[in-house]
Chains A and B, each alone.
Chain A
Amino acid sequence: MQHPSRALSRRSLLASAAAMAVLAGSADGKSLSGTVPWSPFAGEPPRPVNPLGWYFFNPGEAATIEAIVDRFIPGDHLSPGGKACGCAVYIDRQLAGAFGQASRLYMKGPFMPGLPTQGFQGDLTPAGRYRLGLRALADYTNTTYKKDFRALTAEQQDEVLAGLDGGKITLKLKPGFSSKEFFELMLQNTMEGFFADPLYGGNKNMASWKMIGFPGARYDYRDHIDKHNQPYPNGPVSIYGQV
């Protein structure tokens, strides 16, 4: 004999199946057709910077920055130097644009000291930090060496930069903006200029990509997927298709 509860459960199962069928029948099944919208000349490609002239730096500042990026990335058998690669141009265009104005950031007070992981917390925009930092650096080298930074020997320039980095030199900056922070800002931006796409002004001729073997904005490696343990043979390509 069948257990009553089991019979019941069978009945309720059938009932619920019927209910499901009704529900499914009334549910709105829709098939969407048509295609995604498209318009000619669509896309917002980045605009390459004009490589000529200075947009933010005055001539003295530009010469100092060019000297600094050349000490960060000296020309050698691996790559041309930072100046030849356009790192100073990159920094100049960044400071003249949105980055320089910190337009992406909340820049109203109160300004409180932050943790090291929180980045710069002061009221100076990057443009303001460069302006103040370069003036203070000029004051320092003219007081100490009676010369502008760019006129120092490579060894003296390294000495000054190492001093900023290691805390041995304190420029007359502002509370909340240390000399080490100024050093790190310049180093960071120089690296960006060196490795970013050439359209931003640095990485001229994709020198850094050639140095490290980065193929750039290529997007089809199907011919090479099976070639294990073989170096990729093709040189880099920039966003604008330069080879």
Chain B
Amino acid sequence: MKTILKTLAAALAVVAVPAAAQTVNAGKYQVIIGDCEGCHGKDLAGGVELQTPFGKLVSSNITPDKDTGIGNYSAEDFKQAMTKGVAPGGKRLYPAMPYPYYAHLDDRSLTDMWNYLKTVKPVKKSINVNQLRFPYNLRIGMLGWNAMFFHPKPIVQDPAKSAAWNRGAYLVNGPAHCGACHAPKNMFGADKSTALTGTSLQGWFASDLTGDRHAGLGAWSVADIVEYLGTGRSNRSMASGPMAEVVEYSTSQMSNADLTAIAVYLKDLPPSRGNGGAATGVDVQMKAGAVAYDISCAACHGRDGKGSAIFPPLAGNANITQVRADTIVRMVLAGGKAVATPTAPTGPGMPSLGWRLNNDQVANILTYVRNNWGNQAPAVSPETVGRIRGSLRSGS
């Protein structure tokens, strides 16, 4: 009996993690959920440029360096910055730092996060954060912005829904800040609503995540979403561009339970107003598109649009049928690169076809792809392709 107890005690000693290490580990997971690396860099020392409609912002150094980082913050300073958007000394943060979302973090998570950030290797790196145009470069303006748009309402738990749904609602609308990209913005850069109906940003279209069959994730299963977030790919699509970074730094490191929670919640979102429906009166475009698709796209994506393990399908791929075609036009013109994760390490690339296809051809192909194999979405015009080609060339 004694021996058994001894063995048990020994086993417990091995399993038990000191409380300090526990909070640090929990904090690290909070940093993953919050995708801090996505903006502040892998070493969290900042310097990542963010193009906004108001000019350039550069992410700050959040390592515990005393001169250039947040080494002089107190736990309370950190909480104020995270949940109120106010740094020590009353400096107003710009909402590119998604404090409207982090405001939903509970005290425990914030404490864990802070405890973890204190253990990160300090990096001495001075950042000129504010490179916005006048008058946006005046931080005082954020007072007004906050007064108008920053009214964090607590995320209400819905007892009628499952625990997973409630956890998903918290993650999506809170720390994982999906709406920062996927919610439409008003002219002040604030979320118009919390509805994740998709929006254009940084030359990409952050997809509609609602239940609409074509514009959103209506055709995706919970398993499709979990696989997509966890590995960067599913039988529906592949993550590239800004979402590739989210997958790399955040979702691919989340627990399966949390990914499932996000998927369960997203699958329950009411459908958006859709993408405007199938293109009509485009017989000529469709015919020309079919020929051009056959020549330039079919070898990888297949004549049936089903793709393969390393080539994303185009049939039933929500990125193809978004209301706006920014992402797919860009993909054809400049090429693309899928994220590589430990479970899906290939990270296949798509070559640039902008040298080979003119605006009409790209428009034809995309109109065809958006309205074939069960896909339905408005036509893409050569003018749209031309506009995007111009903006990609000028690097914005």
Residues of A within 8 A of B (CB): 33-36, 38, 40-43, 45, 218-220, 223, 237, 239-241, 243
CB interface residues, B 272-303, toward A, < 8 Å: 291-292, 295-296, 298-299, 303
Contact present for B361 and A223 (CB under 8 Å): no
Across the interface, which residues of A come within 8 angstroms of B134, CB to CB? none
CB interface residues, B 302-318, toward A, < 8 Å: 303
Partner of A241, one of B298, B303, B357, B392: B357
Contact present for B347 and A43 (CB under 8 Å): no
Contact digits for B319-351, partner A, Cβ 8 Å, 1 yes 0 no: 000000000000001110100101001110101
Q: Which 7 A-B pairs have the closest CB atoms?
A: A220-B299, A35-B347, A40-B334, A45-B355, A38-B337, A35-B340, A38-B349
A38 to B392, CA, bound (A): 16
B52 within 8 A of A: no
| Given known A237-B295, A241-B361, contact A40–B352 (CB-CB < 8 A) | yes
Chief secondary structure at chain A's binding surface: loop
Partner of B303, one of A43, A223, A237, A239: A223
A198 to chain B, nearest CB (A): 13
Across the interface, which residues of A come within 8 angstroms of B295, CB to CB? 218, 237, 241, 243
A38 to B339, CA, bound (A): 11
Across the interface, which residues of B come within 8 angstroms of A41, CB to CB? 333-335, 352, 354, 392
A38 to B292, CA, bound (A): 25
B350 to chain A, nearest CB (A): 9
Taking residues whose C-beta sits less than 8 angstroms from the other chain, chain B's interface range is: 20 to 34
Contact present for A40 and B349 (CB under 8 Å): no
A28 to B305, CA, bound (A): 44
A67 to B165, CA, bound (A): 79
B161 within 8 A of A: no
CB interface residues, B 340-396, toward A, < 8 Å: 340, 342, 345-347, 349, 351-352, 354-357, 361, 392
Smallest Cβ-Cβ distance to B337: which chain A residue = A38
| Given known A40-B335, A41-B334, A220-B298, contact A240–B352 (CB-CB < 8 A) | no
Q: What are 26 A-B residue pairs whose CB atoms fall within 8 Å in the complex?
A: A34-B340, A35-B340, A35-B347, A36-B347, A36-B349, A38-B335, A40-B352, A40-B392, A41-B334, A41-B352, A42-B335, A42-B351, A42-B352, A43-B351, A43-B352, A43-B355, A45-B356, A218-B295, A220-B298, A220-B299, A223-B303, A237-B295, A241-B295, A241-B356, A243-B291, A243-B295
Contact present for A240 and B356 (CB under 8 Å): yes
Smallest Cβ-Cβ distance to A35: which chain B residue = B347
Smallest Cβ-Cβ distance to B240: which chain A residue = A38
4 further contact pairs, Cβ within 8 A, besides A41-B334, A42-B352, A241-B356: A35-B337, A35-B346, A40-B335, A243-B295
| Given known A40-B334, A40-B392, A241-B292, contact A219–B299 (CB-CB < 8 A) | yes
Across the interface, which residues of A come within 8 angstroms of B392, CB to CB? 40-41
A130 to chain B, nearest CB (A): 31
Quick one: which of A38, A223, A243 has the most chain B CB within 10 A?
A38
